[in-house]
């Protein structure tokens, strides 16, 4: 009898989920509730969890991409020459959205913009932690491996929407343990996360269609995470943030369709 095997990309996705959820919920739960671990230890556990997509990818690479070495994978992932215009456009878009959302929230609340956005006193530490907590640990798996797999199977838009949802719900444990929102505000926070991360995935896809270099995914993710560390307002900020990211993502899609670059196919990634 013929059996339908689970596609390797979904095997990878499940493994990345299980690894992250185990680290955050089990290891983090034990450290917090049983051993009363200090904040530095909890930060270390969060950083370890954020690296789970890459750790799982490297452990499974031979099965996911037979014949492709780790060196070959990263050589392909960074093969396109970076375009300075794209690198410069990223912080303009990300921090522009942050300021626009903060301004809209301040108008609704009747407060000053400074009540919505503030630069942390330990900005250098924030930047350093952001480098290791998220972008560098996640993007090899999500945008380096899974993006071209999903685009090759489902097409650009559908593939990146699926990837955005995968990426968003992977964060689900953090919605429970790293958020102070409750009730209706918690629901708004979760929905906003899903919308923003899906829209951000489409934006990453557009940028990487113009220049297939994994650094762009790192850079967009990094700028996005830093921008959130500047936020000091309430839940209404996330409503405006989700709307603005959705508008920008939808606005960029037509420009992607006008590019002459052919779609990213899985076969192109499978060459050593």
Domain boundaries, the chain: 8-269
What's the token pair of residue 135? 């972008």
Q: Computed from CA positions of residues 211, 76, 199, 202, in that sequence, does the dihedral angle turn out positive or negative? A: positive
Instruction: Please tell me the predicted confidence (pLDDT) of residue 144.
Output: 96
Instruction: Please tell me the predicted confidence (pLDDT) of residue 225.
Output: 95
Q: What is the pLDDT of residues 89-100, one digit of tens each?
A: 999 999 999 999
Return all residues near 94 (Cβ < 8 A) that are at least 6 apart.
Answer: 220, 223, 224, 227
Q: What is the pLDDT of residues 13-71, one digit of tens each?
A: 999 999 999 999 998 888 877 777 888 888 888 899 999 999 999 999 999 999 999 99
User: What number is the average pLDDT over the span 110-117?
Assistant: 85
- For residue 4, pLDDT over 60 is answered with yes
Comparing CA positions, the residue from 27, 29, 229 lying closest to residue 129 is 229
What's the token pair of residue 229? 């560390």
- For residue 156, pLDDT over 80 is answered with yes
Return all residues near 136 (Cβ < 8 A) that are at least 6 apart.
Answer: 51, 218
Pick 104 or 5 by higher pLDDT. Answer: 104
Backbone angles phi, psi at 117, to 5 degrees: -135, 135
Q: What is the dihedral of CA 58, 24, 170, 147, to 10 degrees?
A: -20
Alpha carbon 6 to its chain's center:
24
Instruction: Please tell me the predicted confidence (pLDDT) of residue 257.
Output: 64
Q: What is the pLDDT of residues 237-267, one digit of tens each?
A: 999 999 999 999 999 988 766 654 444 434 3
Instruction: Please tell me the predicted confidence (pLDDT) of residue 258.
Output: 60
Instruction: Please tell me the predicted confidence (pLDDT) of residue 264.
Output: 43
Instruction: Please tell me the predicted confidence (pLDDT) of residue 42.
Output: 83
Instruction: Please tell me the predicted confidence (pLDDT) of residue 40.
Output: 84
Instruction: Please tell me the predicted confidence (pLDDT) of residue 2.
Output: 54
Query: What percent of the chain is modeled with pLDDT above 90?
Result: 65
Q: Which residues face 231 on adjacent strands?
A: 117
């Amino acid at each position: 009898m013929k059996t339908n095997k689970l596609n390797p990309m979904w095997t990878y996705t499940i493994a990345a989920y299980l690894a992250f959820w185990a680290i955050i919920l089990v290891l983090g739960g034990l450290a917090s509730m049983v051993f009363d671990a200090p904040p530095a230890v909890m930060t270390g556990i969060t950083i370890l969890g954020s690296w789970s997509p890459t750790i799982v990818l490297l452990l499974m690479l031979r099965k996911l991409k037979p014949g492709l070495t780790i060196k070959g994978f990263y050589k392909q992932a960074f093969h396109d020459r970076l375009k300075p215009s794209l690198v410069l456009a990223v912080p303009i878009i990300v921090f522009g959205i942050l300021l626009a959302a903060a301004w809209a929230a301040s108008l609704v609340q009747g407060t000053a913009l400074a009540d919505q956005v503030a630069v942390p006193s330990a900005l250098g530490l924030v930047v350093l932690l952001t480098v290791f907590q998220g972008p560098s640990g996640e993007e090899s798996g999500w945008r380096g491996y899974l993006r071209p797999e999903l685009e090759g199977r489902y097409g650009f838009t559908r593939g990146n929407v699926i990837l955005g949802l995968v990426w968003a719900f992977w964060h689900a444990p953090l919605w429970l343990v790293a958020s102070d929102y409750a009730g209706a505000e918690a629901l708004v926070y979760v929905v906003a996360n899903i919308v923003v991360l899906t829209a951000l995935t489409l934006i990453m896809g557009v940028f990487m269609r113009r220049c297939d270099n994994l650094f762009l995914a790192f850079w967009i993710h990094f700028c996005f995470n830093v921008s959130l560390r500047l936020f000091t307002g309430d839940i209404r900020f996330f409503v405006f943030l989700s709307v603005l990211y959705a508008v920008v993502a939808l606005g960029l899609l037509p420009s992607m369709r006008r590019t002459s670059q052919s779609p990213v196919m899985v076969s192109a990634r499978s060459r050593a």
